[in-house]
Amino acid sequence: MSAERAGGGQGRRRDGFPSCHTGVTAYAARGPAKDAAVQKALSHDRDITLITPSAPMKAPTHGGRAKCLQRLVRLELPVPRTVALSFDAVHRIASGDLPDMNGLLSSFDEDALLCVRPSSEDPDWGGPSAILNIGMNDARYVALSDEIGHEAAAALYLRFVQAYAIHVARLDPDQFDEIDETGQAGLSAALGAYEEEAEEPFPQDPAVQLCEVLRSMARAWEGTTARLLRQAKGAPVDAGLGLVVQEMALGIGRGECGSGVLHLVNTETGQPQLTGRYLSQSQGRDALRQRHRSLYLERDPRGPSLQDKAPEAFEQLIEYAHLMRRRLREEMQIEFTIRGGAVHILDGVRVERSSRAALRIAVRMAEDGIISEQEAVMRIEPRAISELLHRQVAPNAQRVVIGRGIAASPGAATGRIVFSSAEAQASAARGEACILVRRETSPEDIRGMHAAVGVLTERGGMTSHAAVIGRGLGLPCVVGAARMNFEIHKKTLVGERGRVFREGDVITLDGTSGAVLEGSPETVEAALDDAFQTLMGWADAARDIDIRANADTPADANTARRFSAQGIGLCRTEHMFFDAERITPMREMIFADTPEDRQAALAVLLPMQRADFTELFRIMEGLPVCIRLFDPPLHEFLPQDRAGLRDLAEALDLPVSDVTRRVESLAEYNPMLGLRGVRLGITVPEIYDMQARAIFEATLDASREGAPVVPEIMLPLVSARREVELVRTRIDAVAAAVRAERGRSFTYRLGVMAETPRACLRADEIAPHCQFLSFGTNDLTQMTYGLSRDDAGRFMSDYVQQGVFSEDPFHVLDVDGVGELVATGAHRARATTPGITLSICGEHGGNPESIAFCRDVGMDYVSCSPFRVPVARLAAAHIALRETGVQRPARL
Ligand code: PEP
Ligand code: MG
Closest-lying ligand 1 atom to the alpha carbon of residue 631: 9
CB 791: neighbour CB atoms within 10 A?
Answer: 15
- Beta-bridged to residue 754, according to DSSP, are 775
Q: Is 841 a catalytic residue?
A: yes
How far is CA 629 from each of CA 414, 695, 760, rounded to the nearest angstrom?
A: 36, 10, 20
- Confidence grade of residue 511 (pLDDT, cut at 50, 70, 90): very high
Mean pLDDT over 288-294 rounds to: 87
Three-class DSSP category at 677: helix
Residue 840: CB within 6 Å of ligand 1? no
Q: Which of 77-81, 176-180, 415-419, 778-782 has the lowest mean pLDDT?
A: 176-180
Q: Is the pLDDT of residue 786 over 90?
A: yes
Give the sign of the dihedral formed by CA 619, CA 625, CA 626, CA 627.
positive
Phi, psi of 305 (to 5 degrees): -135, 160
Q: Measured on CA atoms in the order 727, 729, 732, 737, is the torsion positive or negative?
A: negative
pTM here is: 0.81
C-alpha 463 to ligand 2 mean position (Å): 10
User: Residue 338 Cα, ligand 2 centroid: separation in angstroms?
Assistant: 66
- CA contacts within 13 A on the Cβ side of 190: 28
H-run or E-run covering 606: helix 595-620
Q: Is the pLDDT of residue 20 over 90?
A: no
- Would you say the CB of residue 854 lies under 6 angstroms from ligand 1? no
776 is in an annotated binding site: yes
In this prediction, residues 825-829 reach a mean pLDDT of 98
- Give the Cα separation of 429 and 540 in Å (integer): 41
* Helix 595-620 × helix 580-591 angle, to 10°: 140
574 CB within 6 A, ligand 1: no
241-247/82-85 β-pairing: antiparallel
- pLDDT for 34 beyond 90: no
Q: Is 168 in the pocket of ligand 1 (CB under 6 A)?
A: no
Distance CA 722, CA 719 (A): 9
Q: Which residue has the CA at smallest separation from atom 5 of ligand 1?
A: 842
Active-site hit among 211, 434, 770, 841: 841
Strands (E) located in 38-77: 48-50
pLDDT at 4 over 70: no
| 753 CA → ligand 1 middle, Å | 9
Q: Enumerate domains of the chain plus CATH numbers.
A: 3-137+203-247 (3.30.1490.20), 258-350 (3.30.470.20), 391-524 (3.50.30.10), 543-633+668-883 (3.20.20.60)
Please compute the mean of the pLDDT values over residues 136-152 and round it to a whole number: 92
Q: For 746, which DSSP code?
A: -
User: Which residue has the CA at smallest separation from atom 6 of ligand 1?
Assistant: 776
Specify whether the CB–CB gap between 635 and 671 falls below 8 A: yes
Q: Does the beta carbon of 721 sit less than 6 angstroms from any atom of ligand 1?
A: no
For the Cβ of 569 lying below 6 angstroms from any atom of ligand 1, the answer is no
Q: What's the CA gap between 653 and 645, in Å, rounded?
A: 12
Q: Which atom in ligand 1 lies closest to the alpha carbon of residue 775?
A: 3
Is the predicted pLDDT of residue 807 greater than 60, yes or no? yes
pLDDT at 652 (0 to 100)? 80
Model confidence band, residue 22 (pLDDT cutoffs 50, 70, 90) = very low
> Among 463, 550, 775, which is best to mutate for testing ligand 1, by the most ligand atoms less than 8 A from CB?
463
Using CA positions, which residue lies closest to atom 8 of ligand 1? 778
pLDDT band at 157 (very low <50, low <70, confident <90, very high): very high
Minimum-distance ligand to the CA of 574? 1
Residue 891 pLDDT class (50, 70, 90 cuts): low
DSSP 410: -
Decide: 355 in ligand 1 pocket, CB within 6 A.
no
Distance CA(492)–CA(489), nearest Å, equals 8
Q: What is the pLDDT of residue 33?
A: 66
Report how far ligand 1's centroid is from the alpha carbon of 777 (Å).
Answer: 7
What tens digit of pLDDT does each residue of 374-391 get? Answer: 999 999 999 888 878 888
Q: Provide mean pLDDT across the span 96-117.
A: 90
pLDDT at 17 over 70: no
Question: How do residues 613-639 score in pLDDT, each as one tens digit?
Answer: 999 999 999 999 999 999 987 777 888
* Model pLDDT, residue 400: 95
Which is more confidently placed, 405 or 653? 405
The DSSP output letter for 124 is: G
Buried b (16+ CB within 10 A) or exposed e, 519-541: eebebbeebeeebbebbbebbbe
pLDDT digit string (tens) for 840-869?
999 899 999 899 999 999 999 999 999 899
d(C-alpha 638, C-alpha 685), whole Å = 19
CA distance 402 to 707: 52
Instruction: Indicate if the pLDDT at residue 44 is higher than 80.
Output: no
| C-alpha to C-alpha distance for 863 and 730, rounded to whole angstroms | 27
Instruction: Count CB-CB contacts under 10 A for residue 56.
Output: 10
User: Quick one: which atom of ligand 1 is closest to the CA of 755?
Assistant: 2
Using alpha carbons, select from 421, 459, 482, 423 the residue that is nearest to residue 640.
421
Q: Which long-range contacts (CB under 8 A, 24 or more apart) does 178-181 make?
A: none
Q: Cα(717) to centroid of ligand 2, in Å?
A: 7
Q: Could you tell me if 202 and 168 are in contact, meaning their C-beta atoms sit under 8 angstroms apart? A: no
Q: Across the chain, what does the average pLDDT equal?
A: 90
Tell which atom from ligand 1 comes closest to the C-alpha of 777: 3
Question: Cα–Cα distance between 85 and 826 in angstroms, integer?
Answer: 53
Residue 21 has pLDDT above 60, yes or no: no
| pLDDT tens digits for range 329-352 | 999 999 999 998 999 999 999 998
Closest of 420, 416, 432 to residue 504, by C-alpha: 416
Ligand 2 geometric centre to CA of 835 (Å): 24
Going by pLDDT thresholds of 50, 70 and 90, the confidence category of residue 7 is very low
Catalytic residue among 91, 167, 390, 465: 465
pLDDT of 29 above 60: no
109 is in an annotated binding site: no
Share of the chain above pLDDT 70, in %: 96
**pLDDT at residue number 890:** 66
